[in-house]
Chain A
Amino acid sequence: MTLELIGFLYLPLLAGLILTGIHAYLGVHVVERGVIFVDLSLAQIAALGTTIAYLAGHDLHSNVTYFWSLGFTILGAAIFAFTRVHGETRIPQEAIIGIVYAVSAAAAILAMSKAPEGTEHLKDMLVGNILTVSKFTVAKTAALYAIVGLFHYIFRKKFLAISMGEQIPRIKLWDFLFYTSFGFVVTSSVAIAGVLLVFSYLIVPSVAAMLFASSIGKRLAIGWTMGAVVSAIGIMISFQADLPTGATIVCTFGIALLLLAIIWRLTRRSGTALAN
């Protein structure tokens, strides 16, 4: 790799680290709650909001459009918070997430088929590209996620309790706040990195960490390390082999998880053997 190419590397890498920071944390909650596809579902609702604003004649990057997409995200958060009916009906939360995803994706297709001056712009919005992320976006995202991170740090006991399945007072309100802040983050992340990459940042570090640790603190440490290392390796491979950057990182996540799983299996075997 030429030295010149390395100069292009640091913004995607920085973006990858920022995404790791917030998503590896949120991923612990998401995996613990068993709502794996909630990010795809919320991103899709946000996209539907954008599409509708666009149809109403607003520019794709205008504030009005942004508030439409935010409004739809909050609506989605409300749906998820107020449909915790597993206790009463045995309907899993994941079913509702899937339904919301399918319906909002289909609604966006219907809306686009009516008046789609910029289907390519809308497509562009759902597949943000981490390679061409700008300095401004990186700085803005870092600031936004720091605020969300602080919010979660302050109320960590409440959020953690719900994710661990405990009943706390005013659970629906806290759940709503969780999904709203989560939706806010995911919507911004998807615009930077695309749906596939955001999903990987959210789920893979957290799953990998669960192989090796059970305490939340250790899981976070493992998740953050894995996310940072995989981002760096993935971006290096993408530059070395000239491959689309986002997809390369996703595949690197897959390979890394596989390797960790093999290590886990081997160490566990030898551990059991020793115990016997």
Chain B
Amino acid sequence: MKRIALVLAALLIAAPTFAAPLKVVTTIQDLASLTKEVGGDRVDVSSIARGYQDPHFVEPKPSFLLLLRNADLLEVVGLELEIGWLPPLLDQSRNANIRPGTKGYLDVSHGVEILDRPTVVNRSMGDVHPLGNPHYWLDPANAVRIAIQIEQKLAELRPADAPYFAQRLNAFKIRINDANKRWMATMAPYRGAKVVTYHASWPNFVKHFGLDVVNYVEPKPGVPPSPSHTFELINLMKAQHVKAILMEPYFDAKTPQSIAERTGAKLVVLYPSVGGAKSGTDDYIQTVDTNIANLVKALQ
């Protein structure tokens, strides 16, 4: 009996503080995946948007209010990606700790490379994000920059676990660096290849992997394809021998499919987010793996 008591006492002293995991809510699954990489079992991460949904449009559900209500930390993509649906949810969640400007709010766009930042925005440009292109997480270098910001924020909120987060960040950096070498090697033969994308959502991705986007299926961001633009696009693609049209799974494939048929290009579905498909998109690195594999098939 005495011995059991002693063992118990020893356990209690030796055990680290059993703090409940930090509750983190992210707007998209990519941020959730990177948070898991850094936070391990010391965080409890949930994402609001699913990877197969267009993150510009998310249908609010009651559980989102509850998630936000109980969150210690909210991570957002920013650059107005979530402007259509997050503010009312955040208002109604009545959680003062995760409002913009507080410690529990992390906008990871502050520490990444942003492309397409317009110098002048006017309404004739289409659905342009005035702060720059929000699809920046598709560049693996930005994924590392996001992970660093997450690590700093987690360490700020849970100083006791800072060494644990730092060590996990390093492990992740090593893994994604190795993966990146593999990706770059696979993509090397296709450097400078001309492609068309449906929406202007891949600038960071194509910059990293050295592809050349000659035009978009949408005449302007957010505007459905029009006949004259489609006609011009077909001529352009034929003239420049474009081999692939990249699109997200949630856009309507009819127009890009018919363009592909008329130009001999291949239509490639790339997953813009972790969780974009039933398999092959379980975490960030695996999602890029899948995208690179699909892309290479089309460019060959």
Chain A interface residues (CB < 8 Å from chain B): 2, 4-5, 7-8, 11, 55, 57, 112-113, 115-121, 123-124, 129, 131-132, 134, 238-239, 242-245
56-79 of chain B: CB within 8 A of chain A: 56-57, 59-63, 65-66, 69-70
Chain A residues, CB < 8 A from B127: 116-120
- In this complex, what residue of B is CB-closest to A244? B59
- Identify which of A2, A7, A121, A243 contacts B61 (C-beta below 8 A): A243
**What's the Cα separation between A7 and B62 when bound, in Å?**
11
B227 → A minimal CB distance (Å): 11
Q: How many A-B residue pairs have CB under 8 A?
A: 76
- Identify which of B61, B70, B84 contacts A242 (C-beta below 8 A): B61
- Identify which of A115, A117, A131 contacts B65 (C-beta below 8 A): A131
**What's the Cα separation between A5 and B69 when bound, in Å?**
9
Q: Are B126 and A117 in contact (CB under 8 A)?
A: yes
Given the interface pairs A124-B84, A129-B88, the reply to whether A119 lies near B222 with Cβ below 8 Å is yes
B128 at the interface (CB under 8 A from A): yes
Chain A residues, CB < 8 A from B66: 2, 4-5, 8
- Identify which of B60, B121, B222, B224 contacts A132 (C-beta below 8 A): B60
**What's the Cα separation between A261 and B128 when bound, in Å?**
50
What class of interface size applies to chain B in its complex with A?
20 to 34
The A contact surface, by secondary structure, is helix
Q: Are A8 and B123 in contact (CB under 8 A)?
A: no
Chain B interface residues (CB < 8 Å from chain A): 56-57, 59-63, 65-66, 69-70, 84, 88-89, 91-92, 94, 121-128, 220, 222-224, 226
Chain B residues, CB < 8 A from A245: 60-62
Q: Are A57 and B123 in contact (CB under 8 A)?
A: yes
- What are 12 A-to-B residue pairs whose CB atoms are below 8 Å? A11-B92, A55-B123, A117-B123, A119-B222, A120-B84, A131-B62, A131-B65, A132-B88, A238-B62, A242-B63, A244-B59, A244-B60
Chain A residues, CB < 8 A from B91: 132, 134
B21 → A minimal CB distance (Å): 18
